[in-house]
Structure 1
């Protein structure tokens, strides 16, 4: 099976190297501790690092993932206008900064480029915000912030070093 998989990877031009962000799927990892929130799991790995444990052999795995969308308010014409203007202002200031650092408009002052960028950004942002709201046709009349949340977080370690990690975490102050 492994040879066949290797041939498939070779034929498709893909590498057999594991993604360093996801870890090596052939590695045998075991759970050494479970925590209700990410900060506690992070604290445990930091504790292992402080005690010279090879933390590159660990992983924090969120389990029971949920997508959560917190509704932050109603969206109407006024809010669409103000959100568009705010986003446009930030973008405009950024573009003004970039232009001034690159030397565009060298006859103009730094402040003048920032103000021009700000004003142009506000105008374009306002138009974009109103146009986007109008084109939505009332299908999404609210604003929200989305994210992913896990029920719990498991700290895992390679099986060869798992016992050492468990012993270290057992001595971790609460």
Structure 2
């Protein structure tokens, strides 16, 4: 039962195995590669995608200022190093001054930016896309060979396609 999912344009593909997580699907493709299968004709396709946003914590003006200070310090370090490379005077002093100025301005901008949101987003989070199932899709002309190779994997790694 060929499908167009996950293959290159114009190539009919077949799902030869499905997995509940990405890692076993990746191991299956790695196993195919280890067995000299042409994996360039393979795709891992996630289905039923959903966006998951994990809330990491509360964002306060102080935390926003601290995060801004950290970013500003890194930027200041970069600028200080660039100036220090071309300067013959007190190289370390230039770097320290640039880091301090960057941290101060970063803290100011971080605090002001957070205050301007007026509490509309007072938390930090991490977003990721997750699929409910991952299929290993193979070009239709190689599907039987792929199933045969995957049949040699132990039961912890492979799951047959539904």
The TM-score, its normalising length taken from structure 2, stands at 0.84
What is the match of residue 119 of structure 2? 138
Q: Does residue 127 of the first structure (1) align with residue 111 of the second (2)? A: no
Q: How many residues align?
A: 150
Q: How far 1:93 sits from its partner (Å)? A: 2.4
Within 2, Cα distance between the matches of 1:62 and 1:106? 56
Structure 1: runs of 5+ lacking an equivalent: 1-21
Whether 1:163 and 2:147 are equivalent positions in the alignment is no
> Residue 118 of structure 1 corresponds to which residue in structure 2?
99
Work out whether residues 19 and 133 of structure 2, in 8 Å CA contact, stay in contact via their aligned partners in 1: yes
Q: Pick from 37, 44, 48: which aligns with 1:60? A: 44
SS at match of 2:26: helix
TM-score (norm 1): 0.78
In structure 1, how many angstroms separate the alpha carbons of the residues matched to 2:32 and 2:82? 43
Give the drift of 1:66: 0.7
Q: Give the CA deviation at 1:36.
A: 1.1
RMSD over aligned Cα, in angstroms?
A: 1.8
Change (3 A) 1:99 1:149: farther
CA drift at 1:119: 1.2
Distance 2:149 2:124 in 1: 45
Relative to 1, partners in 2 of residues 1:113 and 1:33: Cα closer, same or farther, differing over 3 Å? farther
The Cα of 1:97 is off from its aligned counterpart by 3.7
